[in-house]
A and B are shown apart, each in its own frame.
Chain A
Amino acid sequence: MLLYFVKRIFLGILIISVAVTLMFCMIHLVPGDPARIMLGPRGTTEMIADITMRMGLDQPLVIQLMKFFGNILQGDLGMDVISSRPVTAIVFGQLPYTLWLIFSAIFGAMLIGIPLGCYSALHRNTLADRVTGVISVACITAPSFVVALYSLLIFAVTLKWFPAIGAGDKGDLFDQATHLVLPAFAIGISWVGYLSRLVRASMLEVLGENHIRTARAYGLTESTVVYRYALKIAILPTVTVIGVGMGFLISAAVFTEIVFARPGLGKLIIESITSRNYPVVMGSVLVSTVLFVISTTISDLVNAWLDPRIRANL
């Protein structure tokens, strides 16, 4: 068990190191001088020379790569070219907004999706089950930015039920919550479909197992059997799926933040691309990748802890 934990965490660190190396290669292999690209059309020859020296771009690539790693380990992701603030501070200033959005979306999706899947499994092959199935697939395939656009159009612009832009006043929790509803809905809706299908499938599997038959044979009521015994096991796969789905959640958050003009990682990265602020772009990509690797690692570890068969496979 411990060996598996160590191996899995080592793999996570290895993946992050390879990702950092690839990112370094991407910056340096792209045609053109990184300093020139970074400064864009604003750059004068003196500025380019200054940046080249300050960033150590005149040194051999291997040494630059070592420095790149060293800086990242110290939490130094470089300087914002425009405001000269550290990238780490900027990225971590925006990250909580994205995390809040992602967590409320997935929490809402669990609240609706799991009971829906349960209902479908218990009323298998009825009309309600089939309708839920088709709606679930439709929810899964609807691109999050289309859902975001429609919810903005219907609930914010036309009906004016919810605010259209921003994240709400700092300190005013109610205002922040109302600003969260539509973006979280746009991200969460496809997860409602996804989780309901997943829970339905695993519930059907669990309901056919021996311990459920035994529980029924003991004369326990149907609701006790379903909620105390079956559902407890059937919702386990959702843990893994949410961990692995972190990448999709981050991607969906990028779109939603743009549509609702919400602060966050996605809005930061798009604005940085437009203003050619490369250190911020790379910093955001790196932080989101690390976030994704951490969440898949945790979900693998939780899974291994729950299911001993997996440990044997690494």
Chain B
Amino acid sequence: MKALIKRISSDPLGLLGLCLVTLMVVSALGASIFAPYDPIQLNIMDRLQGPSANHLLGTDQLGRDLFSRVLFGGQVALKVAFLTIGSALIIGVVLGMIAGYGPTWLDNSIMLLFDTIRSVPTIMLALAAVAMVGPSITTVIFVIAVSSIPNYGRVVRTQTLTIKSKDFVKAEMLMGASLLRILSIHVLPNILGPLLILASMDIPTVIALEAGLSFLGMGVKPPTPSWGSILNDGFALIRNTPWPIIAGSIPLVLATLGFTFLGESLRDLLDPKLRKLL
């Protein structure tokens, strides 16, 4: 792990990514310590202020401190990213292995399902779901997870097919090893590396999607702070003050950039030849 961090640090963009990601994670996790105000505390007297010593990023239309809202918004972004990618990863691994190891008809059906999910634009899928069950953070997590399952499932299936036909796996099957053993001891460790790279490169997309849906008013419900809902407030006030838009977009852009740079750097590093570093 130390060696890995050292390798990332030697790549300037990777280092920048690592710093941005660390900054985001620390500020989100420690939001309750760092935030100078309660993020949902109204203070109408101080509404729509520009940045000052009291309010680093100014205040919104209800006088809430934007800096505190940005910090707590990071928690929402992280929560959505990890729950979404975690569940998509688990379901994708299971479905991909079933497709790779199961009978042809099952493989074809799963692949058709994957293709279908991939052919609905994610935002449209999300909006359809919101129309049916109403906006909430759970809907957001569910929809983004469903739409990312095929990404992982396809990779797992291809890798499972490759490993399945290897001689050592065939030998082990002849020795009477169970399917579960082969999948968990041989297939899983072999696909974990590429999957984690894929997952890390998905984080910026997920964060941007959550913010986007909350921006449309179809995601996190007020008064919970989310970068997207801060931008939504800013959009309504665009002719009065630019600050809410600036406050909402800076962390969003920095986080997506950070995760992208880190993800690309990881991908370059975790090339199979370099995997012994982990």
Residues of A within 8 A of B (CB): 11, 14-16, 18-19, 22-23, 26-27, 30, 37, 134, 137-138, 140-143, 145-146, 149-150, 152-153, 157-158, 246-248, 250-251, 254-255, 258-259, 269-270, 272-273, 276, 278, 281-282, 284-285, 288-289, 292-293, 296
Kindly report which residue of chain A lies nearest to residue B133, judged by CB atoms: A30
B124 contacts across to A, CB distance below 8 A: 250-251, 254, 269, 284-285, 288-289
| In contact, A19 and B119 (Cβ under 8 angstroms) | yes
Kindly report which residue of chain A lies nearest to residue B126, judged by CB atoms: A251
Known: A250-B124, A255-B216. A142 touches B132 (CB 8 A): no
| In contact, A143 and B211 (Cβ under 8 angstroms) | yes
B58 to chain A, nearest CB (A): 15
- 4 A-B pairs closest in CB distance: A251-B123, A143-B208, A247-B121, A18-B116
Q: Does B14 contact A (CB under 8 A)?
A: no
| In contact, B131 and A250 (Cβ under 8 angstroms) | no
Interface of chain B residues 8 through 28 with chain A (CB within 8 A): 13
| In contact, B128 and A18 (Cβ under 8 angstroms) | no
Q: Does B271 contact A (CB under 8 A)?
A: no
B261 contacts across to A, CB distance below 8 A: 137
List 18 A-B residue pairs with CB atoms under 8 Å apart, sorted by A's residue number: A14-B112, A15-B119, A16-B119, A18-B112, A19-B120, A141-B208, A141-B260, A143-B212, A143-B252, A146-B249, A149-B234, A153-B242, A247-B119, A248-B121, A251-B122, A254-B123, A258-B216, A278-B131
Q: Does B256 contact A (CB under 8 A)?
A: yes
Q: Does B253 contact A (CB under 8 A)?
A: yes
Residues of B within 8 A of A (CB): 13, 112-113, 115-116, 118-125, 127-133, 204, 208, 211-212, 215-216, 218, 231, 234-235, 238-239, 242, 245, 249, 252-253, 256-257, 260-261, 264
A14 contacts across to B, CB distance below 8 A: 112
A138 contacts across to B, CB distance below 8 A: 257
A299→B22 CA distance, assembly (Å): 40
B121 contacts across to A, CB distance below 8 A: 246-248, 250-251, 288-289, 292
A15 contacts across to B, CB distance below 8 A: 112, 115-116, 119
Among B115, B116, B122, contact of A22 (Cβ-Cβ < 8 Å): B116
Main secondary structure on B side of the interface with A: helix
B236 to chain A, nearest CB (A): 11
Kindly report which residue of chain B lies nearest to residue A156, judged by CB atoms: B238
A27→B216 CA distance, assembly (Å): 22
Among A137, A149, A246, A281, contact of B245 (Cβ-Cβ < 8 Å): A149
| In contact, A134 and B13 (Cβ under 8 angstroms) | yes
Known: A149-B231, A255-B216. A281 touches B131 (CB 8 A): yes
Known: A143-B211, A153-B238, A251-B122. A23 touches B128 (CB 8 A): yes
A22→B128 CA distance, assembly (Å): 12
A215→B264 CA distance, assembly (Å): 35
| In contact, B128 and A282 (Cβ under 8 angstroms) | yes
B113 contacts across to A, CB distance below 8 A: 18
Kindly report which residue of chain B lies nearest to residue A248, judged by CB atoms: B121
B120 to chain A, nearest CB (A): 5
A296 contacts across to B, CB distance below 8 A: 119
B133 contacts across to A, CB distance below 8 A: 30
| In contact, A149 and B249 (Cβ under 8 angstroms) | yes
| In contact, A281 and B235 (Cβ under 8 angstroms) | no
| In contact, B253 and A142 (Cβ under 8 angstroms) | yes
Kindly report which residue of chain B lies nearest to residue A290, judged by CB atoms: B119
Known: A285-B128, A288-B121. A149 touches B238 (CB 8 A): yes
| In contact, A269 and B231 (Cβ under 8 angstroms) | no
| In contact, B132 and A145 (Cβ under 8 angstroms) | no
Apart from A146-B231, A270-B127, A281-B127, 6 more pairs, CB < 8 Å: A15-B112, A152-B238, A247-B119, A250-B123, A273-B130, A289-B124
A94 to chain B, nearest CB (A): 14
| In contact, B122 and A150 (Cβ under 8 angstroms) | no
B256 contacts across to A, CB distance below 8 A: 141-143
Q: Which of B208, B212, B252 has most A Cβ within 10 Å? A: B212
| In contact, A269 and B260 (Cβ under 8 angstroms) | no
Kindly report which residue of chain B lies nearest to residue A140, judged by CB atoms: B260
Kindly report which residue of chain B lies nearest to residue A148, judged by CB atoms: B235
A134→B11 CA distance, assembly (Å): 13
| In contact, A145 and B218 (Cβ under 8 angstroms) | no
A276 contacts across to B, CB distance below 8 A: 131
A292 contacts across to B, CB distance below 8 A: 119-121
| In contact, A30 and B119 (Cβ under 8 angstroms) | no
B235 contacts across to A, CB distance below 8 A: 149, 259
